[in-house]
Amino acid sequence: MTAPFVRKTYQFVSDKKCDDVVSWSHKGSSFTIWDTQAFESQILPRYFKHSNISSFIRQLNTYGFHKKNTGELHCLEFVHPHFYQHSKVLSEICRTPTTKACETSSEAASSAEQASFDVIPLLEELHRKQKNSEKLLQKVVEDLSATKALIQELRAT
């Protein structure tokens, strides 16, 4: 399934009505934003909940797009190996993992399973210690009762 961001970007880049603002390169292997001001005011609000080109570029970067040097001052050109004109493999474009989120779900599950195995012996030890503490407390209570009885007996004599 193609990510909504990728699908929407493909839609407006392919829309011939937008060619004066954003379009495919001559070879169709990249796309160029020709007019950044018009892109922010006309294209972004129509397809996204914002009109900030910096946010759009940041989002492109999270999907693995790279900026190409066009040699022109006010133009921005972006390329991705699976994002091209008439592409049939847009679903292969996905977010690149961040350094903090590199663990896959199977690694995370394995890690959680290992943690639970580590906790079981600790719980068993705590249970044993609690039982021993309860026995010791019971003995202290019995000794206290016996001591009180002995004191009362000594006072009575």
* Cβ pair 56, 48 in contact under 8 A: yes
Closest residue by Cα to residue 43 from 19, 64, 59, 74: 19
Domain boundary among 92, 113, 131: 92
Contacts of 41 (CB under 8 A, 6+ apart): 51
Task: Tell me, yes or no, whether 49 and 12 share the same domain.
Answer: yes
More confident residue, 94 or 77: 77
Task: Tell me, yes or no, whether 85 and 108 share the same domain.
Answer: no
Work out the average pLDDT over 55-62: 94
pLDDT at residue number 101: 45
Q: How distant is the alpha carbon of residue 84 from its chain centre?
A: 27
Helix (H) or strand (E) holding 97: none
Strand partners of residue 33: 22, 76
pLDDT at residue number 113: 58
Task: Tell me, yes or no, whether 68 and 118 share the same domain.
Answer: no
* Cβ pair 67, 76 in contact under 8 A: yes
Residue 140 CB-half CA count within 13 A: 6
Q: Residue 64: is its pLDDT beyond 90?
A: yes
Task: Tell me, yes or no, whether 44 and 115 share the same domain.
Answer: no
Q: Which pTM was predicted?
A: 0.60
Domain of residue 29, CATH code: 1.10.10.10
At residue 52 the predicted structure's pLDDT band, cuts being 50, 70 and 90, is very high
Q: What is the largest CA-CA distance in the chain?
A: 115
Of 8-12, 49-53, 104-108, 145-149, minimum mean pLDDT range:
104-108
pLDDT at residue number 143: 96
Task: Tell me, yes or no, whether 80 and 16 share the same domain.
Answer: yes
Q: Residue 109: is its pLDDT beyond 70?
A: no
**What is the residue range of 108's domain?**
103-157
H and E: helices and strands count for the chain: 5, 4
Lay out the sheet containing 22-24: strands in order across: 22-24, 30-33, 76-79, 66-68
pLDDT at residue number 103: 46
pLDDT at residue number 155: 93
Residue range 23-49, pLDDT digits in tens: 999 999 999 999 999 999 999 999 999
With H, G, I as helix, E, B as strand and everything else as coil, classify residue 88.
Answer: coil
Q: Report yes or no on 98 lying in a domain.
A: no
Across the chain, what does the average pLDDT equal? 87
Domain boundary among 92, 112, 146: 92
pLDDT at residue number 149: 94
